[in-house]
């Protein structure tokens, strides 16, 4: 489940689940840095999707992570976002997320 290219080895629904998992990992790091979930605000998220050239649904993968953050943080979870298809990611992971957060 956690390796491969979306559109070839990994289905869209699995990629969405991986994006949610990656967002939760990034959120956990932010909480650890500031000390409390209530103090975290997401500013920007960059979602990389290792995908086939014809996949074209990277934004749907990223939506899964964005929706989760808004569900967990409410207005503090709203953020700017970019979804990018790439040829490959470290350790052959299908989805990777960079998140910029601030303390409120």
pTM value is: 0.95
pLDDT of 28-77, one tens digit each? 999 999 999 999 999 999 999 999 999 999 999 999 999 999 999 999 99
Q: Are 84 and 36 within 8 A, CB to CB?
A: no
Mean pLDDT for the chain?
97
Note the pLDDT of residue 4.
97
Note the pLDDT of residue 2.
80
CATH topology of domain 12-103: 60s Ribosomal Protein L30; Chain: A; (3.30.1330)
Share of the chain above pLDDT 70, in %: 99
Instruction: Count the Cβ atoms, other than its own, within 10 Å of residue 17.
Output: 16
Q: Give the span between the Cα atoms of 34 and 29, in whole angstroms.
A: 9
| Domain range annotation of the chain | 12-103
Q: Are 59 and 83 within 8 A, CB to CB?
A: yes
């Amino acid at each position: 489940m956690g390796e491969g290219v979306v559109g070839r080895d990994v289905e869209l629904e699995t990629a969405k689940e991986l994006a949610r998992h990656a967002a939760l990992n990034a959120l956990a790091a932010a909480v650890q840095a500031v000390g409390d979930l209530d103090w975290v605000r997401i500013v920007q998220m960059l979602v990389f999707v290792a995908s086939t050239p014809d996949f074209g649904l990277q934004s749907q993968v990223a939506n899964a992570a964005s929706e989760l953050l808004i569900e967990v943080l409410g207005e503090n979870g709203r953020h700017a976002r970019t979804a990018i298809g790439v040829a490959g990611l470290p350790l052959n992971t299908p989805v990777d997320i960079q998140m910029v957060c601030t303390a409120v």
